[in-house]
């Protein structure tokens, strides 16, 4: 059986909406917005399933900081655990608004949230 290429390893970056890119992490819009105005993810560039704690903290900070701008239209957004991730073998996390009209709202509610970011509080106040 032929091994299928990892969709996160084979992203065509020229066709993606990129918010951040360095040698370790990429922050970009997800392919499927699932009815949300915006939905973003942070991807660890090397194909790895798990990351050290410090790398995860950095990824969470990147997604939080960029998410504050991307999700400026909503008072809160969440960074979700990978419970329902469709790509399970390449480390990434998704940030999303909490739109009850989205296609995946029930799934968002059923997923453990790693971080809730309150856009009504300035970064230094939290």
What pLDDT, in 10s, does the model give residues 57-115?
999 999 999 999 999 999 999 999 988 888 889 999 999 999 999 999 999 999 999 99
- pLDDT tier, 4 (very low <50, low <70, confident <90, very high otherwise): low
Domain boundaries, the chain: 15-119
CA torsion sign for 65, 59, 34, 121 is negative
Give per-residue pLDDT as tens, 25-35: 999 999 999 99
* List of residues 6+ apart from 68 with CB closer than 8 A: 117, 119, 123
d(CA 80, CA 84): 9
Tell which CATH classification among 3.40.50.2300, 3.30.565.10, 3.30.428.10, 3.40.50.410 matches the domain 15-119.
Answer: 3.30.428.10
Tell me the pTM: 0.91
Q: According to the model, what pLDDT value does residue 126 have?
A: 53
- Residues 28/37, Cβ–Cβ less than 8 Å: no
């Amino acid at each position: 059986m032929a091994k299928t290429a990892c969709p996160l390893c084979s992203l065509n970056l020229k066709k993606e909406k990129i918010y951040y890119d360095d040698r370790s992490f990429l922050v970009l819009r997800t392919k499927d917005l699932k009815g949300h105005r915006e939905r973003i993810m942070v991807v660890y560039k090397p194909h790895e399933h798990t990351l050290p704690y410090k790398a995860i903290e950095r990824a969470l900070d990147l997604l939080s900081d960029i998410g504050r701008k991307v999700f400026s239209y909503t008072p809160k957004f969440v960074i979700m655990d990978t419970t329902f991730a469709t790509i399970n073998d390449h480390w990434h996390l998704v940030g999303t608004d909490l739109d009850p009209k989205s296609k995946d709202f029930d799934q968002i509610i059923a997923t453990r949230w790693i971080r809730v970011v309150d856009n009504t509080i300035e970064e230094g106040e939290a």
